[in-house]
């Protein structure tokens, strides 16, 4: 099942879901086209309402996902109004470190490192201290605010927990980076230990709606993921949680996920667009268009106005030449590679941000220092969900 909205090619026809409820809402105005009349939301007023504290309903969020292409710029303008209110023109850069690759016993259908995948990915246990530090140095050079330490696993074993507890204080002391740990399912005690060693936030993606989750994974449940997020919150850590769009879910599933992330008061939301890797059960699944991706980002921004919104894996593949428009609703990107897929060169990200008139938070990178990974270190090849962004 495609997540791409079925849109009419006739300019006079409303997008699916633009029914009498939408037309009668205070956010809609009756607009007249050259071929007839249809309900058109007042996107800018909707943004003002959000800034003033009104929470969008699920029906309104679904309406945003069904915005016709001819209204897309109006939707992005409204989303940017909300983004600018809370984040100005800033862009946060994140650096993803693949600390342990492959070897995962879970059967997540999107994941190139799962036990049901035949995709060729590197397999290694958690990296030694020197490689983790070298990657942290590179993260600082690339102007990253946050260093994402990711492992591929159902959850961390004791050896992996101790490795994280030892390296995190050293990274923070040397480079001043925030640390986001993506280690899989956590117990309450493990979450408290991560807080004690200096981890700032934990990534654990919902990935999709509760209703659709069993279609993509059977070895753990959506409830297991939510429980981990509660452990993280109870430990005093910030939440980083998002999902993957394009796995065959419906638009209602995407809205459900966005709403649940709002209920969880998630501080950071990575939105991935499925990079359907050959050898995984979801190979050749996604048929997202750049417009689909932009609508999705705008909806997440309007539903979660104060959350940091990150364009994560699949942005180069699916947004393509429209990548810059994604930063009108979003305020964060990964700089460099993802987990089992490569990102565009960091220099292209800097240029894109500069051309938009936006600013990377933090100091400028040293132009005399290479932004390539040190020999023997790779950020691309495993960890976390194994799809394309932190989200185990």
182 counts as catalytic:
no
Selecting among 40, 83, 148, 193, the annotated active-site residue is 148
CA torsion through residues 33, 37, 39, 45, sign: positive
DSSP-assigned states of every residue in 53-110: TPPPPHHHHHHHHT--GGGHHHHHHHHHHHHHHHHTTEEEEEEEEEEEBS------TT
- For the segment 112-125, the average pLDDT, to the nearest whole number, is 78
pLDDT tens sequence across 292-304 = 999 999 999 999 9
**Is residue 67 within 8 Å of 295, Cβ to Cβ?**
yes
List for the chain the helix, strand, coil content (%; round to 5): 40, 15, 45
For residue 90, the cross-strand partners are 359
Distance separating alpha carbons of residues 23 and 57, to the nearest angstrom:
15
- For the segment 335-359, the average pLDDT, to the nearest whole number, is 84
* Nearest C-alpha neighbor of 68 from the set 17, 115, 34: 17
Lowest mean pLDDT among 14-23, 117-126, 223-232, 313-322: 14-23
Backbone phi, psi, residue 39, to 5°:
-75, 125
DSSP-assigned states of every residue in 146-212: EEEEEE-SSS--HHHHHHHHHHHHHHHHHH--EEEEE-SS--HHHHHHHHHHT--EEE---BS-TTT
pLDDT at position 278 is 79
Distance separating alpha carbons of residues 354 and 294, to the nearest angstrom:
20
390 counts as catalytic:
no
Backbone phi, psi, residue 93, to 5°:
-105, 140
Lowest mean pLDDT among 1-5, 108-112, 318-322: 1-5
**Is residue 66 within 8 Å of 296, Cβ to Cβ?**
no
Selecting among 111, 197, 293, 380, the annotated active-site residue is 111
**Is residue 102 within 8 Å of 152, Cβ to Cβ?**
yes
385 counts as catalytic:
no
pLDDT at position 40 is 80
Three-point CA angle 248, 253, 258, nearest 5°: 125
Distance separating alpha carbons of residues 64 and 58, to the nearest angstrom:
10
**Is residue 200 within 8 Å of 179, Cβ to Cβ?**
yes
pLDDT tens sequence across 163-217 = 999 999 999 999 999 999 999 999 999 999 999 999 999 999 999 999 999 999 9
Question: Could you tell me the pLDDT band of residue 362, with boundaries at 50, 70 and 90?
Answer: low
Find all residues with CB under 8 Å of 85, minimum gap 6, and list them: 51, 305
pLDDT tens sequence across 29-69 = 433 333 334 568 899 999 999 999 999 999 999 999 999 99
Distance separating alpha carbons of residues 13 and 309, to the nearest angstrom:
32
- Positions of E strands within 42-117: 90-100
Percent of the chain with pLDDT over 70: 80
Backbone phi, psi, residue 34, to 5°:
-70, -10
Distance separating alpha carbons of residues 351 and 3, to the nearest angstrom:
31
Find all residues with CB under 8 Å of 26, minimum gap 6, and list them: none
Q: Residue 263 CB: number of other CB atoms within 10 A?
A: 7
Distance separating alpha carbons of residues 107 and 384, to the nearest angstrom:
13
- For the segment 337-362, the average pLDDT, to the nearest whole number, is 84
pLDDT at position 10 is 29
Question: Could you tell me the pLDDT band of residue 145, with boundaries at 50, 70 and 90?
Answer: very high
The CATH class of the 87-360 domain is: alpha beta
Lowest mean pLDDT among 10-14, 70-74, 325-329: 10-14
Lowest mean pLDDT among 248-252, 325-329, 381-385: 381-385
- For the segment 305-326, the average pLDDT, to the nearest whole number, is 96
Find all residues with CB under 8 Å of 354, minimum gap 6, and list them: none
- For the segment 342-367, the average pLDDT, to the nearest whole number, is 81
104 counts as catalytic:
yes
Phi-psi map region of 311: left, alpha, beta (phi>0 left; psi -120 to 50 alpha):
beta
Question: Could you tell me the pLDDT band of residue 316, with boundaries at 50, 70 and 90?
Answer: very high
Selecting among 108, 182, 217, 390, the annotated active-site residue is 108
- For the segment 117-125, the average pLDDT, to the nearest whole number, is 81
Distance separating alpha carbons of residues 126 and 227, to the nearest angstrom:
25
Q: Where are the domains of the chain?
A: 20-85, 87-360
pLDDT at position 24 is 39
Residue 27 has pLDDT above 50, yes or no: no
> What average pLDDT does the chain have?
84
- For the segment 139-145, the average pLDDT, to the nearest whole number, is 94
pLDDT at position 16 is 35
Question: Could you tell me the pLDDT band of residue 107, with boundaries at 50, 70 and 90?
Answer: confident
111 counts as catalytic:
yes
Distance between first and last Cα of the chain? 24
Lowest mean pLDDT among 39-53, 159-173, 254-268, 328-342: 328-342
CA torsion through residues 125, 128, 131, 136, sign: positive
Selecting among 66, 104, 225, 385, the annotated active-site residue is 104
């Amino acid at each position: 099942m495609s997540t791409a909205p079925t849109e009419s090619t006739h300019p006079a026809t409303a997008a699916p879901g633009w029914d009498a409820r939408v037309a009668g809402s205070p956010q809609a105005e009756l607009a007249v086209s050259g071929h007839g009349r249809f309900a058109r939301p007042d996107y800018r007023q909707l943004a003002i309402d959000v800034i003033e504290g009104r929470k969008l309903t699920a029906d309104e969020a679904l309406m945003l996902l069904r915005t016709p292409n001819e209204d897309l710029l109006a939707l992005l303008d409204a989303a940017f109004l909300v983004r600018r209110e809370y984040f100005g023109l800033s862009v946060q850069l994140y650096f993803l470190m693949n600390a342990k690759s492959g070897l995962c016993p879970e059967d997540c259908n999107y994941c190139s490192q799962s036990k049901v995948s035949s995709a060729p990915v590197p397999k290694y246990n958690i990296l030694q201290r020197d490689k983790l530090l070298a990657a942290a140095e590179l993260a600082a050079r690339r102007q990253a605010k946050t260093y994402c330490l990711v492992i591929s696993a159902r959850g961390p074993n004791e050896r992996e927990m101790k490795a994280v507890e030892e390296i995190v204080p050293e990274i923070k002391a040397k480079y001043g980076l925030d640390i986001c740990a993506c280690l899989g399912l956590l117990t309450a005690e493990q979450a408290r230990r991560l807080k004690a060693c200096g981890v700032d936030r934990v990534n654990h993606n919902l990935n999709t709606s509760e209703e659709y989750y069993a279609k993509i994974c059977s070895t753990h449940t959506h409830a297991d993921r939510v429980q981990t997020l509660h452990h993280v919150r109870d430990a005093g850590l910030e939440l980083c949680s998002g999902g993957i769009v394009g796995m065959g879910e419906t638009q209602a599933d995407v809205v459900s996920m966005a709403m649940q992330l709002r209920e969880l008061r998630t501080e950071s939301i990575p939105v991935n667009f499925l990079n359907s890797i050959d050898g995984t059960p979801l190979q050749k699944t996604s048929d997202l268009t750049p417009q689909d991706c932009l609508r999705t980002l705008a909806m997440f921004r309007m539903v979660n106005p104060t959350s940091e919104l990150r364009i994560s894996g699949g942005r180069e593949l699916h947004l393509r030449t429209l990548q810059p428009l994604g930063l009108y609703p979003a305020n964060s990107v990964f700089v460099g590679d993802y987990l089992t897929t490569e990102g565009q060169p960091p220099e292209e990200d800097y240029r894109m941000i500069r051309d938009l008139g936006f600013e990377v938070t933090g100091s400028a990178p040293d132009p005399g220092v290479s932004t390539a990974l040190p020999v023997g270190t790779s950020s691309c090849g495993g960890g976390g969900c194994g799809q394309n962004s932190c989200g185990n």
